[in-house]
Amino acid sequence: MNFVSHLECSLTGERYPAGQPLGVSAAGKPLLVRYDMRRLGDAVSKAELAGRSGGLWRYWEFLPVAETGNRLDLGEVVTPLIRLERRLAAGDSGELWVKDEGRLPTGSFKARGLCVAVAMAKELGITHLAMPTNGNAGAALAAYASRAGLKATVFCPADTPEVNLREIAFQGADVYRVDGLINDCGRIVGAGTEAVGWFDLSTLREPYRIEGKKTMGFELAEQFDWELPDAIFYPTGGGTGLIGMWKAFAELEAIGWIGSKRPKMFAVQSEGCAPIVRAYLEGKEFAEPWENACTIASGIRVPVALGDFLILRAVRDSGGAALAVSDADINECQAEVATSEGLLLCPEGAATYAAYRQARLKGLIGSGDRVVLFNCATGLKYPMPEMTATFDAEAPNAYARFRAQNKK
Ligand SMILES: Cc1ncc(COP(=O)(O)O)c(C=O)c1O
């Protein structure tokens, strides 16, 4: 059982029937899943939800999977909100929280989208999935496809971190390095739908990953007792999570669980790949491809986003902004939060903290605002500074020298 009524082109509004494999709309734009919100609202209450355990399947009424048996479970959790008490500027009275998505299976928020998309693929009888990825999405696809007994083929830019390539392979997918960026990998996947017959699971080229990602919005609303925060900073590549949360908030308002107040949505990119920021600043509806994309935050090295206009709409409608931060700032922020708060952010997560500081300086958010930063992946999969210290307890005066060196 589900509450899906139809699918809809995100640009033209053209309707499509549910219950069959679909890619993009006739206009070449993402399809969004629409639900019978009246029936859905009658079927579930906040109190009932509060009594449920588990992760994203707690929100099953808001998800497209009809058969309970098709729900995939690798131990998804409601990710914690961790308060950064000491990172507020002096005199600020607000709240700064990190939603730590690194606690999900395969160590990133990509688990949400792929958990639901692979479950839907299974439900629709699809047997072979393919995807371009900068790493984390491929790992999540590999894990959930193996769980579902489906075949997965993954294409990565050649410089994708080794750890991601290996985790994808080790969790059962066929993975290939490609001489190019994620959009070049995407072209290979697109061409292979005809030539090989696999199903294209690229970001926003199928309608269900965003349904999984939108559960970040439900969780936030529930964690803040149905009072949304004032601002959300989201590291934006393809933008599925940002678009997904925006959709989640609209669905919650449609059933009367929240009001019309929305957080300011901040799309955070790296200065080395900032197509959305450039379009935002130029007042454009769509973004131009970014040339020579280059950043240490590989998850947001996305030169072209199919959902560009949806990201830009959410950012503008919410009164937020699109902000670019430098790799140097990302490194500095990652180190600052790790050493002073004990929280190891991924580079993309650190970018949101850098953007928060920038927004605060520019007056884009207030001193009393309640702000959420998204740490989309565990920091453990990324390079860390070299550690060179050794300790030889047999060396003369080893402990005396240690004491002398560690005097405060
Ligand atoms: C750690 C991390 N952060 C952010 C992103 C960007 O996510 P989205 O495509 O939803 O914008 C990715 C995507 O690969 C990622 O791996």
Tokens 């986003």 appear where?
A: 305
Sheet containing strand 4-9, edge to edge, reads 15-16, 4-9, 31-35
Q: Do 89 and 114 belong to one domain?
A: no
Q: Which of 109, 97, 162, 151 is nearest to 127 (CA)?
A: 151
Residue 285: pLDDT above 80?
Answer: yes
Residue nearest to atom 12 of ligand 1 (CA): 299
Asked which of 177, 200, 223 is the last residue of a domain, the reply is 200
Q: Do 20 and 154 belong to one domain?
A: yes
Round to whole Å and give the CA distance between 369 and 83: 13
387 part of a folded domain:
no
219-249: pLDDT as tens digits? 999 999 999 999 999 999 999 999 999 999 9
393 part of a folded domain:
no
Q: How many domains does the chain have?
A: 2
Q: Do 360 and 232 belong to one domain?
A: yes
Q: Which of 32, 6, 34, 64 is nearest to 207 (CA)?
A: 32
Q: Average pLDDT, stretch 283-311?
A: 96
Give, for 220, the enclosing helix (H) or strand (E).
helix 215-223
Q: Average pLDDT, stretch 160-165?
A: 93
Tokens (6 digits) for 12? 């033209």
From 98, 108, 154, 374, give the residue whose CB has the most ligand 1 atoms within 8 Å, as the site to mutate.
Answer: 108
Residue 333: pLDDT above 80?
Answer: yes
Q: Do 113 and 243 belong to one domain?
A: no
CA of 396 to the centre of ligand 1 (A): 51
Q: Do 235 and 292 belong to one domain?
A: yes
Tell how far CA 95 is from the center of its chain.
Answer: 22
CA of 395 to the centre of ligand 1 (A): 48
Tokens (6 digits) for 157? 């830019």
Give, for 371, the enclosing helix (H) or strand (E).
strand 370-375
Query: β-pairing, 4-9 with 31-35?
Result: antiparallel
From 155, 265, 348, 352, give the residue whose CB has the most ligand 1 atoms within 8 Å, as the site to mutate.
Answer: 348
CA of 102 to the centre of ligand 1 (A): 12
User: For ligand 1, what atom is nearest to the CA of residue 136?
Assistant: 16
For residue 103, report the phi and psi dihedrals to the nearest 5 degrees. Answer: -85, 0
103-145: pLDDT as tens digits? 999 999 999 999 999 999 999 999 999 999 999 999 999 999 9
Tokens (6 digits) for 373? 């930063």
Q: Do 97 and 241 belong to one domain?
A: yes
- Confidence label for 87 from pLDDT (cuts 50, 70 and 90): confident
Asked which of 174, 200, 226 is the last residue of a domain, the reply is 200
CA of 394 to the centre of ligand 1 (A): 48
User: For ligand 1, what atom is nearest to the CA of residue 242?
Assistant: 10
From 136, 233, 270, 290, give the residue whose CB has the most ligand 1 atoms within 8 Å, as the site to mutate.
Answer: 136
Q: Average pLDDT, stretch 147-173?
A: 96
CA of 137 to the centre of ligand 1 (A): 8
What pLDDT, on the 0 to 100 scale, is given for residue 121?
Answer: 98
- Confidence label for 164 from pLDDT (cuts 50, 70 and 90): very high
Q: Average pLDDT, stretch 334-350?
A: 97
Q: Do 39 and 170 belong to one domain?
A: yes
Q: Do 43 and 86 belong to one domain?
A: no
> Which region, left, alpha or beta, applies to residue 31 given φ > 0 means left and ψ of -120 to 50 means alpha?
beta
CA of 50 to the centre of ligand 1 (A): 29
- Confidence label for 43 from pLDDT (cuts 50, 70 and 90): very high
The pLDDT mean for the chain works out to: 97
Asked which of 200, 233, 266 is the last residue of a domain, the reply is 200
Q: Do 117 and 98 belong to one domain?
A: no
Tokens (6 digits) for 121? 């693929």
- Confidence label for 82 from pLDDT (cuts 50, 70 and 90): very high
CA of 391 to the centre of ligand 1 (A): 39
Q: Rounded to the nearest 10 degrees, what angle do helices 110-123 and 136-148 cross at?
A: 40
209 part of a folded domain:
no
User: For ligand 1, what atom is nearest to the CA of residue 137?
Assistant: 14
Residue 88: pLDDT above 90?
Answer: no
403 part of a folded domain:
no
394 part of a folded domain:
no
CA of 232 to the centre of ligand 1 (A): 15
What pLDDT, on the 0 to 100 scale, is given for residue 11?
Answer: 98
405 part of a folded domain:
no
Provide the residue type at 250 as one letter: A
What pLDDT, on the 0 to 100 scale, is given for residue 299?
Answer: 93
Which residues line the pocket of ligand 1, CB cutoff 6 A? 108, 134, 136-137, 203, 235-241, 299-300, 346, 348, 376-377
Give, for 132, the enclosing helix (H) or strand (E).
strand 128-132
CA of 215 to the centre of ligand 1 (A): 15
14 part of a folded domain:
yes
Q: Do 40 and 183 belong to one domain?
A: yes
CA of 245 to the centre of ligand 1 (A): 14
Tokens 């999405």 appear where?
A: 137
- Confidence label for 292 from pLDDT (cuts 50, 70 and 90): very high
Q: pLDDT > 70: what percent of the chain?
A: 100
Q: Which of 401, 348, 392, 363 is nearest to 107 (CA)?
A: 348
404 part of a folded domain:
no
From 134, 300, 311, 346, give the residue whose CB has the most ligand 1 atoms within 8 Å, as the site to mutate.
Answer: 300
Residue nearest to atom 14 of ligand 1 (CA): 299
Residue 90: pLDDT above 90?
Answer: no
| pTM score | 0.96
Q: Do 158 and 277 belong to one domain?
A: no
CA of 59 to the centre of ligand 1 (A): 22
What pLDDT, on the 0 to 100 scale, is given for residue 407?
Answer: 84
Q: Do 160 and 298 belong to one domain?
A: no
List the domain range (segments joined by +) for residue 274: 81-103+214-381
Residue 408: pLDDT above 80?
Answer: no
CA–CA distances in Å: residue 332 to residues 90, 335, 377: 19, 5, 18
From 100, 106, 110, give the residue whose CB has the most ligand 1 atoms within 8 Å, as the site to mutate.
Answer: 110
Residue nearest to atom 13 of ligand 1 (CA): 299
